[in-house]
Each structure stands twice: as C-alpha cells, then as structure tokens.
Amino acid sequence: MLVSDLRNCVAELRAVIKGNGVSLGLSITSTMGGPILDYRISLDLVGPFIDEAAFNERLKLGAVPNAVHQTGHNIVFTHADFNMRNILVDPRTRRLSGIVDWENAGWYPEYWEYTKAYFITKLWWRWLAIMDSVFHGKERYRDELETEDTLWRFDDPWS
C-alpha cells in the first residue's frame, strides 16, 4: 500500500502547475520561482535555471567532464527530499500519513526525486527498493542514476 500511496502522491505533485507570481520563463526554480536550495548541489542557494541544459551545466564537474545528464526531461514539481525521515507512515495501516520537510521543493527534471532518494539514502536498500517501485526507476532513470552516482563520487557539497 505504501508504494501505491507514494505513486499517487508523486503523480499529484507532478500535476502541480506553476501559478501566478512564479517565474514562468524559468524552468528549474524553487516553489516561489527563485533560486533552489538543494544540498545535493550546494549548501547555498543556486539558480534559478532558464532550462535543463543550464541546470546540467551547474551539475558538471571538471574531474569527470563526460558525466553529463541528458536533456529533454519533463520539468515537474518535486519534493526533492524523499527519504525515510520525511515520509510519515501510519504503523497500524502501513499507509502514507504525510510528507514533511519541504524546504527543497520546486520544479526539477522528472528524474530528480528518484536520484535524490539514492543520494540521501545510499545504504538503506529496502527503502531504495520502495523508491525503485514508486518511480519505476531502475530502467526508466538508469542513465541519470549512473550519471548522478559518478558525480556524487567526485563532488561533496559538504566539504
């Protein structure tokens, strides 16, 4: 049931449309249309980004110049921090009861929620199996996850 609940939640998030007051001319933004806060990228605000190519350029590392994300993904509303601490589950029903910690939320490429789950939760294989099921991820976003994995090994925003 949790996988189904999370799939429905992701579908609802992805259906959110940028409203008035949000920079419609910019692709990758925070919820308010400004810079994003995402600890995978930086400890500081970055962006906003005009398009996915500009976002990808920010993710590139000189040490691994061939590790570059593809473009052409849908830009969707994303929580951007799906991890076990932020997904609340009712222990009696094993159903989703809430999602907390929305500070990283915004509009990102569609793979971002999935690859971020791997970035945040590298060692909890059961949780990652749930994320694979929610996002149909292993096949659908395999290339993006491989790119992210390469980038993670060479870039530590905390250092």
Question: Could you read off the pLDDT tens digit of each residue along the chain, which spans 159 residues?
Answer: 899 999 999 999 999 988 765 666 679 999 988 999 998 888 899 999 999 999 999 999 888 888 899 999 999 999 999 888 999 999 999 999 999 999 999 999 999 998 988 876 666 777 888 888 888 766 778 888 888 888 877 776 555
pLDDT for res 31: 92
> In this predicted structure, what is the pLDDT of residue 47?
92
The pLDDT, as a whole number, for residue 45 is 94
Beta bridge partners of 78: 106
Give the per-residue pLDDT at 23. 61
What's the pLDDT score for residue 93? 93
CA-based nearest residue to 149, from 124, 130, 122, 131: 122
Of 45, 19, 44, 41, which Cα lies nearest the Cα of 32?
Answer: 19
Three-state SS string over 12-78 comes to HHHCCCCCCCCCCCCCEEECCCCCECCCCCCCCCECCECCHHHHHHHHCCCCCCCCCCCCCCCEEEE
pLDDT at 97: 96
Class of domain 2-152 (CATH, top level): alpha beta
pLDDT at position 123: 63
Ramachandran class of 149: left when φ > 0, alpha when ψ lies in -120 to 50, beta otherwise: alpha
CA distances, 34 to each of 16, 47, 112, 137, 158 (Å): 17, 7, 18, 28, 23
* pLDDT on residue 159: 52
| Model pTM score | 0.77
Question: What is the reported pLDDT for 22?
Answer: 60
pLDDT of the residue at 132: 87
- The pLDDT value recorded for residue 48 is 94
Delimit the domains of the chain by residue range.
2-152
pLDDT the model gives residue 101: 95
